[in-house]
Chain A
């Protein structure tokens, strides 16, 4: 009997794996399960979709039905999976039991939510999916002010995107600088300055204490006593892998669902990839690791056992006002930054205690050096 592969999740991980599988095996039985409408879209584009005047609908590259056609696969939308029964190779879902021979968990990560005080705390939004973006974009209609909690990648990218369409932005973060752990100090200062020039107000070394209704507006109170009047509060403090269901099924988890170099969990026939997965000790919720993992897993699932390789993978920060590429060490690393500032931009090298290049930051015109510099760094998985 032919093997039936079930992929849980229709984000970038699920769809990329499905595409890679189809390149190798046009026929094998394939089912993708989505808890939303299953539209295929580019998630990285969500953080610059406003300036490109993209609606949730125009971001859709293929609706579930078309994707199913293109992939010669079944796609079940609006289907919630509640439980994995590893012993019986079965999922319990809102549509009943689903049998599988091989299961791939690609159901992503969820925004971390902090329980803030105040009567409007439950109005805090986050954007981690097309559906979230639809709601956020609607909420922005005729509004002019947004407070962003979190000055990380997503926070800074949205700040840039929002100012591009004339929204006034305040950013609050506990850290003393933007993109805290990712950027060398001068690069962070420059990013803050440029966004400030675009109208962003920074509240670093600070924290939100409460969010309350104030008529049609919201009041955001900060630790230092500042009160910001705003229309929308967007939380961008990070993602946590969706691991609960896996843990309950006896699958080993930590920050993510733990898999080996073959993307295999500690249960036979169950694999994981994307934002929900932790490959050995690395949980890297970015596009490039996911792509490498999807290609390796597609090979393994079609009979060619292939270990995933992680070279050093730089991340492009989508802040057009200040082009930045970061390549942080994937594990806590002792070392120091060496920054060179020139007319072309900043080149910051993070050197470990032995003097080896362990990470870098490139800005402005120097971003083009990213591939060459990444090659100087030893592979992240060895």
Chain B
């Protein structure tokens, strides 16, 4: 399963859980997250995430 991990702090975005507290519903694919969205842990932008296989 592919997940997205923040290269700065290690935060992992999991599509199946989404981030309801940030207004991102469970199941939201990475592509559908707005470009101005920021990592909830460290504040970096979407372009600083990289995909890691876990």
Contact = CB atoms under 8 A, between A and B. Distances in A.
Interface in B1-37: 7-10, 20-22
Contacts of A61: 7
A12 interface: yes
Interface in A266-322: 287-288, 291-292, 313, 316
Interface stretch (A143-151, A169-177, A350-358, A368-376): A368-376
A371 B41 contact: no
Contacts of B22: 371
Given A287-B43, A291-B42, A42 B8 contact: yes
A63 interface: no
Nearest to A54: B10
A26 to B, nearest CB: 14
Contacts of A250: none
B43 A44 contact: no
Contacts of A291: 8, 42-44
Contacts of A372: 21
Given A291-B42, A316-B41, A371-B40, A44 B21 contact: no
B10 A42 contact: yes
Contacts of B7: 42, 61
A97 interface: no
A287 B21 contact: no
Interface of B is mostly: loop
Query: Looking at chain A, what size class is its interface with the partner chain?
Result: 20 to 34
The CB with the most chain A CB atoms within 10 A, among B8, B10, B40, B47, is that of B8
A372 B21 CA distance: 8
Interface string A200-244: 000000000000000000000000000000000000000000000
Contact of B43 (A45, A313, A370): A313
B42 A288 contact: yes
Contacts, number: 41
Nearest to B48: A19
A42 B9 contact: yes
A368 B10 contact: no
Contacts of B44: 16, 291
B10 A287 contact: no
Interface string A317-333: 00000000000000000
Contacts of B47: 23
A42 B8 CA distance: 5
A48 interface: yes
Nearest to A49: B10
A371 B24 CA distance: 13
A43 to B, nearest CB: 9
B43 A369 contact: no
Given A48-B10, A371-B21, A287 B42 contact: yes
Interface string A95-122: 0000000000000000000000000000
Contacts of A12: 8
A42 B12 CA distance: 14
The CB with the most chain B CB atoms within 10 A, among A12, A287, A316, is that of A287
Interface in A330-382: 368-372
A247 to B, nearest CB: 30
5 contacts: A19-B48, A61-B7, A288-B42, A313-B43, A368-B21
A-B interface, 7 closest residue pairs, ranked by CB to CB distance from nearest: A287-B42, A288-B43, A368-B21, A291-B43, A44-B9, A45-B10, A316-B41
Given A19-B48, A287-B8, A369-B21, 10 more contacts: A16-B8, A44-B8, A45-B9, A287-B9, A287-B43, A288-B43, A291-B8, A313-B43, A316-B9, A368-B20
